[in-house]
Amino acid sequence: MHKEKPLATKATEKINLKGLWIGDFEKLLGDLGEKRYKARQLASWIYAKGATDFAEMTDLSKDLRRKLGEVAFIDSPKLVDRQTSDKDLSEKFLFELADGARIETVLMWEGKRVTVCVSTQVGCPLDCTFCATGQMGFKRNLTAGEMVDQIIALGEHRITHAVLMGMGEPLLNFDDTLRAIKIMNDEMGLSFSGKRITLSTAGIPSVIEKLAKEKLKIKLAISLNAATDEKRNRIMPVNKKHPLKELLAAVKKFTQATGRAVTFEYVLIDGVNDSEKDAAALSKLIQGVPCKINLIPYNPIPGLPYRRPPEHGIVAFRDYLYPRCPAVTLRMSKGEDILAACGQLRT
Ligand code: SAH
């Protein structure tokens, strides 16, 4: 059994309700001598309706609202900057958290689809050599509340999809990420169906297996970026700890346990992983795994030596893969001019 986290760290400290979920609310209500079934009403006020003040919760008794106000509060992040791309419909938001840490969230429009790209950590410990977030190092994990807040704060934009693909490695912050997903997924929460939520990971095999056991219908994306250990070790140091064989075995287990295909993301970097030999290794590696491949042309990072391959190289790579792999898509990132594209987030 896992140890229950204390709701507040000091007896005198008020509890931040943002990020807590039904079981936590039931406990709190029980402690206040109230009926536990009101937990769902409380959750709905905080997440589905975005209330930040107990006074708004008109279907809870005045007495309960007063008691809640005495022991708890509902935190919200501070929006400190906002940049809009001139090239496409994307926007980047900079939030400041209670301890002063800063994180970035990206919003992208494609037709009717409005996707929010959520960060799961402040910085990232994985040190992928091509990614800007890795350059800023790792500061701390985000709480589930800080993850869902990135969506709630942008709620007015009618978001249809959420991708856990911003700063950080979600599977190295598993408990809070899982709770955030449950809040996103529930109708008392943010009401995103599982197929509108994607978790992207650099690949932590044991945690992928844990995720497979959760009854979630979310999509899983794996950032592959290289198809041999020799090459992947060079650009994604996490591969030294968890080599491809182990990663692919976990991914296969995931597809078997859930009955769902996964997406392999492959960032195309000029002269690094974009040759025909690389494409051949990639198509061989994923044989037998129900999957789609998503090719992402590299977004240059100021100060890093990597470049995007020329257009014809990108197309040739895709055309080599296409007949050999079940589904291949080429995704042009959004928000490149405001450094909001994949791998460009750093504060
Ligand atoms: N840690 C998670 C989520 C954050 S990275 C993961 O690794 O999946 C999100 C995606 O951006 C990954 O697929 C990563 O490979 C990609 N990426 C990182 N830097 C990039 C860059 N400069 N250009 C394009 N994609 C990049």
Tens of pLDDT, residues 143-166: 999 999 999 999 877 899 999 999
Q: What is the DSSP string of 139-173?
A: EEEPPHHHHHHHHHTTGGG---EEEE-SSS-GGGS
Residues whose CB falls within 8 Å of the CB of residue 171, separated by 6 or more in sequence, listed in order = 177, 199, 201, 204, 207, 208, 211
pLDDT for the residue numbered 1:
42
Atom of ligand 1 nearest to the CA of 164: 3
> Pick the catalytic residue: 26, 34, 91, 104?
104
Cβ–ligand 1 distance for 268 under 6 Å, the answer no
342 is catalytic: yes
Backbone angles phi, psi at 7, to 5 degrees: -70, -40
Question: Which residue matches tokens 């075995």?
Answer: 249
Cβ–ligand 1 distance for 263 under 6 Å, the answer no
104 is catalytic: yes
Considering only CA atoms, which residue is closest to atom 7 of ligand 1?
A: 202
pLDDT for the residue numbered 5:
55
CB atoms within 10 A of CB 331: 11
pLDDT band at 184 (very low <50, low <70, confident <90, very high): very high
Tens digits of residue pLDDT in 38-85 = 999 999 999 999 999 999 999 999 999 999 999 999 999 999 999 988
Cβ–ligand 1 distance for 294 under 6 Å, the answer no
Question: Which residue did the predictor score with more confidence, 132 or 342?
Answer: 132
Amino acid at 234: R
Residues whose CB falls within 8 Å of the CB of residue 164, separated by 6 or more in sequence, listed in order = 118, 120, 147, 170, 177, 180, 181, 197, 198, 199, 200
Which of 30-39, 87-96, 173-182, 276-285 is least confident?
A: 87-96
